[in-house]
């Protein structure tokens, strides 16, 4: 089945911990993105990658880190430096046409 898989669907983090959100795709798309969604807000871009081993900061990159070692994978680490990490995180891909396709999302909660 082709698609974008995000895991886990729900994640709980203690304050001061780093956590990593997984995003895997088998669509053979070059570009991958991470967005953050807060209630009543639109999607805000955290990081994006247009090609393997290259990525760029989005509008709200502080407190986050990414890697792109494989075309299929674009994990996002939420570090302890992110002061308000509770949010819904969405991974997306596109094949260069700007029509982004989204995963099911990961809801991160700080406890």
If binding is defined by CB under 8 A, does position 2 make contact with other proteins?
A: no
Q: Smallest gap, in angstroms, from Cβ of residue 100 to other proteins?
A: 6
Q: Is 103 exposed, middle or buried (0-12, 13-18, 19+ CB in 10 A)?
A: buried
**Interatomic CA distance for residues 41 and 84, integer angstroms:** 15
If binding is defined by CB under 8 A, does position 84 make contact with other proteins?
A: no
- Residue (58 or 80) nearer to other proteins, CB: 58
Cβ atoms within 10 Å, residue 107: 14
* Helix (H) / strand (E) containing 90: strand 87-94
Which 38-57 positions form the footprint of other proteins (CB under 8 A)? Answer: 40-45, 48, 50
* Helix (H) / strand (E) containing 58: none
Of 11-19, 64-72, 76-84, 97-105, the window that binds other proteins (rule: CB under 8 A) is: 97-105
Residues that bind other proteins (CB under 8 A): 4, 6, 33, 35, 40-45, 48, 50, 58-59, 90, 92, 98-105, 107
């Amino acid at each position: 089945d082709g698609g974008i898989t995000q895991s886990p669907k729900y994640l709980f983090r203690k304050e001061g911990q780093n956590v990593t959100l997984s995003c895997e795709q088998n669509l053979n798309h070059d570009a991958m993105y991470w967005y953050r969604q807060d209630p009543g807000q639109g999607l805000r871009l955290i990081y994006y990658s247009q090609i393997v081993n290259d990525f760029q900061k989005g509008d709200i990159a502080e407190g986050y880190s990414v890697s792109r070692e494989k075309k299929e994978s674009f994990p996002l680490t939420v570090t302890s430096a992110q002061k308000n990490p509770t949010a819904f995180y969405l991974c997306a891909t596109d094949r260069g046409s700007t029509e982004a396709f989204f995963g099911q999302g990961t809801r991160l909660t700080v406890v």
